[in-house]
Amino acid sequence: LPLIAVCGRPNVGKSTLFNRLTGSRRSIVGDEPGITRDRIYGEIEWAGRDARIVDTGGVIPDDEALIPSEIFRQAQVALEEADSIVMVVDGRTELASPDRELARLLLRGGKPVFLAVNKMDTQELLAGAENFRRLGFRNVLPISAEHGSGIGDLLDEVFASLPPEEVDEEPTEVMLTAEDEMAEDEDGPQPIRKLRTHGEYEQRETKIAIIGRPNVGKSTLLNALTGSKRAIVSPIAGTTRDAVDEVVERGGHSFRFVDTAGIRRKGKTKLMAEKLSVVMARKHLEAADVSLLVIDAVEGVTALDANIGGYAHESGRSVIIVVNKWDLMTTARTDGKPPADIKVYEQQVRDALKYLDYAPLLFISAAEGKNVESVFKKVELVARERRKRVTTGQMNRFLEKVDFQKASVPMAKRIRIYYMTQAAVAPPTFVLFTDKDVKMHFSFERFLTNQIRDNFGFIGSPIWFKIKARN
Ligand code: GDP
């Protein structure tokens, strides 16, 4: 579905507009002081067409110093993800410099942008909306999110700017049976086809989220990876206010570490720090392609690690498990035990994080800079793997070879797959055309996933399925 982003500084009525559009009143996600809101998605239908809408949110109003970077982040999210952007301003107040900054960033981005001048509740106020043309928008629309006026006109314009409706992902019969489709495959791996979704073609930049519970060494790892010595790393260090993302260029590939200020942010109490780590993980995952799930080697996988790992898995991002502080498990163990056996240790991690069986696992010491280099290599690998595309010809030849009798699925739960096709990359998503419109039995899904992995890899990435019954 096309995506519409709503941007704006705090208190302009962004959430009211968002709630009006989605009909939902529950847009507040995190209630932790200092992290008011996470990014929120909703769905909207207008003139017979569906779209998704995102409130870029996440503003930290009680911290003036963070506002510029927050504005920048919002604009970045909107420009990267959305097809069309609505910026909201308060029509009853003077323009503030964050408004101008946000407008400037959005207007430069080359996407359709609309200015909604909010709180225009009366006729007299309405005239004032014209003043906001100074921000440089061609499309200026007075609205009252509270009372609902002007919303229809706004939606008409925004929907008209969306890309044409996508064709159904169901492949045509022609595509499946045509000789050329089959012949094509004989020449070896196919180039990635150009897709509508941005960034799926020839990707040179990988966005990386460093996630994990407090004190596992996320900031230390970030410093080791970016070569930065600026951040103060200690369990009690406060917020480091610096650039939102940090980019490392290597061998023609950019590694973008998302929201590095967030990675370094520490909660004041243990409980707060733990909650914050979950909120941050979710936020960072949204902005990323690949996540580094950092585990403290001394403590092993805890419930909170598993929880955060679960979010990573569900997000569809690729995952690399990074066991950090391995230096403390080798010769110089502080607990007096003999050095840990790496194979045994890996098995323990695997057992505790079963659903991440596709994630490569690395042992590192961020503090000593050991094996940090391998992180870049693995990121590049999984970034490539998640964008891999299998042609329908290859897929169906594979399907013919699979012995589905081997899947331990009760007879009644079996489904017949007529054919399947890869509908999307990042994460690889397959559409299965089946005889029954039922959810796959979990052991069938696992069986199929393993078969796909054995044949095509997709290292580090979850694999998603969609079922379509044919009748
Ligand atoms: P974060 O909360 O996940 O960002 O964790 P920090 O990066 O702040 O690290 C927490 C503590 O663990 C700090 O005292 C670090 O010096 C220490 N630490 C981080 N990485 C390593 C490592 O590889 N080995 C050892 N021995 N200590 C580390």
Please give the helix or strand (H or E) that residue 467 lies within, else none. strand 464-469
DSSP string of 390-415, one letter each residue: --HHHHHHHHHH--GGGS---GGG--
Please tell me if the CB atom of residue 327 comes closer than 6 angstroms to any atom of ligand 1: yes
282 is in an annotated binding site: no
- Looking at this predicted complex, what is its ipTM? 0.95
What's the pLDDT at 292? 98
What is the tally of helices (H) and strands (E) in the chain?
Answer: 15, 15
pLDDT at 305 over 80: yes
CA 65 to CA 55: how far, in whole Å?
22
Instruction: Kindly state the percentage of the chain with pLDDT values over 90.
Output: 36
DSSP string of 271-310, one letter each residue: HHHHHHHHHHHHHHHHT-SEEEEEEETTT---HHHHHHHH
Query: How much is the average pLDDT of 260-273?
Result: 88
Q: List every span in the chain annotated with CATH 3.30.300.20.
A: 392-469
What's the token pair of residue 90? 């308060």
Query: How much is the average pLDDT of 141-149?
Result: 89
Instruction: Read off the pLDDT band of 337 (50, 70, 90).
Output: confident
What's the pLDDT at 139? 85
Query: How much is the average pLDDT of 396-417?
Result: 81
Residue 41: partners with Cβ closer than 8 Å, 6 or more residues away: 52, 53, 54, 55
What does the pLDDT look like over 209-259, one tens digit per residue? 999 999 999 999 999 998 853 333 333 333 334 447 888 888 778 899 998
pLDDT at 1 over 60: yes
Q: 122-126, 302-306, 307-311: lowest mean pLDDT where? A: 122-126
What's the pLDDT at 60? 44
- How far is CA 288 from its chain centroid? 5
Q: Are strands 361-363 and 318-324 parallel, antiparallel or unpaired?
A: parallel
Which of ligand 1's atoms lies nearest the C-alpha of 220? 7
Instruction: Read off the pLDDT band of 343 (50, 70, 90).
Output: very high
What's the pLDDT at 63? 56
CA 249 to CA 29: how far, in whole Å?
35
* Ligand 1 pocket mutation, candidates 210, 211, 213, 215, criterion most atoms within 8 A of CB: 215
Q: Could you tell me the pTM of the whole model?
A: 0.59
Q: List every span in the chain annotated with CATH 3.40.50.300.
A: 3-160, 205-386
The CATH H-level (homologous superfamily) assignment of domain 3-160 is: P-loop containing nucleotide triphosphate hydrolases (3.40.50.300)
Task: Tell me the CA–centroid distance for residue 3 and ligand 1, in Å.
Answer: 38
- Under CATH, which number does the domain 205-386 receive? 3.40.50.300
Query: How much is the average pLDDT of 340-364?
Result: 95
As a residue count, the chain comes to 471
Instruction: Read off the pLDDT band of 382 (50, 70, 90).
Output: very high
What does the pLDDT look like over 135-144, one tens digit per residue? 888 888 999 9
Task: Tell me the CA–centroid distance for residue 39 and ligand 1, in Å.
Answer: 28
Instruction: Read off the pLDDT band of 24 (50, 70, 90).
Output: low
189 is in an annotated binding site: no
What's the pLDDT at 201? 37
What's the pLDDT at 253? 84
What's the token pair of residue 424? 């999307």
Which of ligand 1's atoms lies nearest the C-alpha of 368? 23
pLDDT at 408 over 80: no
Average pLDDT, the chain: 80
pLDDT at 265 over 50: yes
* Ligand 1 pocket mutation, candidates 216, 220, 299, criterion most atoms within 8 A of CB: 220
Q: Pick one of 3.90.1200.10, 3.30.300.20, 3.60.150.10, 3.40.140.10 as the CATH number of 392-469.
A: 3.30.300.20
CA 432 to CA 417: how far, in whole Å?
6
Largest CA distance in the chain: 79
What's the pLDDT at 36? 41
What's the pLDDT at 170? 40
Task: Tell me the CA–centroid distance for residue 61 and ligand 1, in Å.
Answer: 30
What's the pLDDT at 69? 73
What does the pLDDT look like over 43-89, one tens digit per residue? 888 777 788 888 876 544 455 566 667 777 778 878 888 999 999 99
CB contact at 8 A, 425 and 388: yes
Please tell me if the CB atom of residue 219 comes closer than 6 angstroms to any atom of ligand 1: yes
Residue 307: partners with Cβ closer than 8 Å, 6 or more residues away: 278
421 is in an annotated binding site: no
What does the pLDDT look like over 27-39, one tens digit per residue? 444 344 444 445 6
pLDDT at 412 over 50: yes
Please tell me if the CB atom of residue 220 comes closer than 6 angstroms to any atom of ligand 1: yes
Please tell me if the CB atom of residue 70 comes closer than 6 angstroms to any atom of ligand 1: no
Instruction: Read off the pLDDT band of 266 (50, 70, 90).
Output: confident
**pLDDT higher for 286 or 338?**
286
Q: 106-120, 383-397, 403-417: lowest mean pLDDT where? A: 403-417
What's the token pair of residue 303? 């419930």
Cα first-last separation, the chain: 26
Which of ligand 1's atoms lies nearest the C-alpha of 237? 8
pLDDT at 298 over 50: yes
Please give the helix or strand (H or E) that residue 440 lies within, else none. none
